Chains A and B, each alone.
Chain A
């Protein structure tokens, strides 16, 4: 009789565990799907408050790398200037996760700029500060400070230094999004983007007549709209976002009169140095008056300076 009871109890337990297992697997499958149904353009035109969190993550993930603006600045032949950069010492004053995440973005963009110009002496200060902020945000495990410091100190293998810096940034950002901290990820990419725009606008403000840089400033209209939508969503959920979202709304307004037209052409391919190069024959025309440009330059400066002295 006892044996029978034991068997019944065992079967009951087994059934219970299998049921729990199925439920857990079912939930993990739901969360582990890949990113198939994304159409960023359609999301941007939607009502901002209706954008689901998962879709916000996809927009954030699509935004340019912290090093791209610096790479363009270097490529058009602008000399290095430390005066544009945010001081890493200011990071000591960042006393909330909100400020730390924004600071992490700003300093990561500056680190990208220093990397592109191979300023290894300066890089170490930025690495140390970024490590401290990332530790505070519990994402320090993705930032291999010792290896980065060694590469920078020995002035060796700049490719590796660049890769590790940028890749660490992406891993930290990914981790935030995958762990339901997308609000912080949004702040990090906002910091990166505003610092990139600040660098390029300061160069223009200081007299550069580069057509490429001016066009790049005008074309940021696309990204202002994306970031503005994201910040408007978080503004509803978190009071800390209110001022930042209000500033981005102003920046969006400043971009409103910038006209971007695209004539679509056919896609051509050429082989250059053995590599296939795809060249769509699209033509983009950015129309922006001097006044419009100046407004964007001064507004960007004001927002960025506000961010680093929060």
Chain B
């Protein structure tokens, strides 16, 4: 009986410790700041990920997202303080692969208006992919980052 009780406590502890690791995404306040600091663009969704030391493309996460033809979208990336220039958001699809010819990769700049942000005018409805990872060659530590997709307008 004792063994069963101890086991249950132990399992709860392990799951608790593991859970913290799995859920180590950015807090909602970071997502909020990132989503509402976007000019007049309308927040559509966010891509929230933990970042960890990893080989090649293993440090972050990749998501599929359906984008619509004729729409002007904005992507911006917010990382934890001190990591702004170490993390990148990449937009790609099957014909524009992440590792060779993506549509765009965010760049860190000193200007808050352009820092880690780009716009995308979609000319073909379909599935695209967004990834957020440590830059190649960066010896990352555990961190988090959030990307935000916003609607700027129809393409003019």
B124 and A41 form a contact (CB under 8 A): no
CB distance from A258 to the nearest CB of B (A): 12
**B62 contacts A65, C-beta separation under 8 Å:** no
- If A35-B63, A284-B125 touch, whether A278 touches B153 (CB-CB below 8 Å) is no
Q: Is the CB of A167 within 8 A of B31?
A: yes
Across the interface, do A61 and B64 meet the contact criterion of CB distance under 8 Å?
Answer: yes
Closest to A116 in B: B42
Q: Which residues of A contact B68 (CB under 8 A)?
A: 64, 68, 72, 216, 219
* Contact call B104/A278, Cβ cutoff below 8 A: yes
Interface segment out of the listed A79-87, A133-141, A158-166 = A158-166
Among residues 1 to 60 in chain A, which have CB atoms less than 8 Å away from a CB atom of chain B?
A: 13, 16-17, 20-21, 24-25, 28, 32, 34-36, 38-41, 58-59
How far apart sit A32 and B64, CA to CA, in the bound complex (Å)? 18
CB distance from A4 to the nearest CB of B (A): 20
Q: Is B22 an interface residue (CB 8 A)?
A: yes
The answer to whether B153 and A280 have CB atoms under 8 Å apart is no
Q: Which of B3, B94, B125, B154 contacts A41 (CB 8 A)?
A: B94
B119 touches A68 (CB 8 A): no
Q: Per-position contact with A for B30-45: 1 when CB-CB < 8 Å, else 0?
A: 0110011000001111
B121 with A278: CB separation less than 8 A:
yes
Q: How many residues of A contact B (CB 8 A)?
A: 63
Q: In the complex, what's the smallest C-beta–C-beta distance from B86 to chain A, in angstroms?
A: 18
Q: Are A219 and B69 in contact (CB under 8 A)?
A: yes
Contact B118 A275 (CB under 8 A): yes
User: Are A71 and B42 also in contact (CB < 8 A) when A32-B18, A36-B57 are?
Assistant: yes
Assembly CA distance A223 to B127 (angstroms)? 10
| Chain B residues, Cβ within 8 Å of A269 | 104
Q: Which residue, of A35, A64, A162, has the highest number of chain B Cβ atoms within 10 A?
A: A64
A34-B62, A162-B43 in contact; A41/B127 too (CB < 8 A)? yes
Provide the residues of chain A in CB contact with B138, threshold 8 Å: none
Most chain B beta-carbon neighbours within 10 Å: one of A58, A71, A282: A71
A290 interface residue per 8 A CB criterion? no
B35:A167 contact, CB within 8 angstroms: yes
Q: Are B125 and A274 in contact (CB-based, < 8 A)? A: no
Contact of A62 among B22, B42, B64 (CB under 8 A): B64
Q: Which residues of B contact A76 (CB under 8 A)?
A: 154
Q: B61 contacts which chain A residues (CB < 8 A)?
A: 34-35
Q: Is A122 an interface residue (CB 8 A)?
A: no
Chain B residue, CB-CB nearest to A271: B114
Q: Which residues on A sit within 8 Å (CB–CB) of B60?
A: 34
Chain A residues lying within 8 Å of B64, measured Cβ to Cβ, are 35, 38, 40, 58-59, 61-62
In whole Å, how far is B49's beta carbon from the nearest beta carbon of chain A? 8
> Which 7 pairs, one residue from A and one from B, show the smallest C-beta to C-beta distance?
A62-B64, A282-B123, A65-B44, A40-B127, A277-B119, A219-B125, A71-B151
- In addition to A35-B63, A40-B127, 4 A-B residue pairs with Cβ atoms within 8 Å of each other are A20-B11, A212-B70, A274-B113, A280-B123
What residues make up the interface of A, taking CB atoms closer than 8 Å to B? 13, 16-17, 20-21, 24-25, 28, 32, 34-36, 38-41, 58-59, 61-65, 67-68, 71-72, 75-76, 116, 159-160, 162-163, 166-167, 170, 212, 215-216, 219, 222-223, 226, 260, 262, 264-265, 267, 269, 272-284
A-B contact pairs, 12 of them (CB 8 A): A17-B10, A20-B7, A159-B43, A167-B28, A170-B45, A212-B154, A226-B66, A260-B125, A262-B124, A278-B118, A278-B121, A284-B69
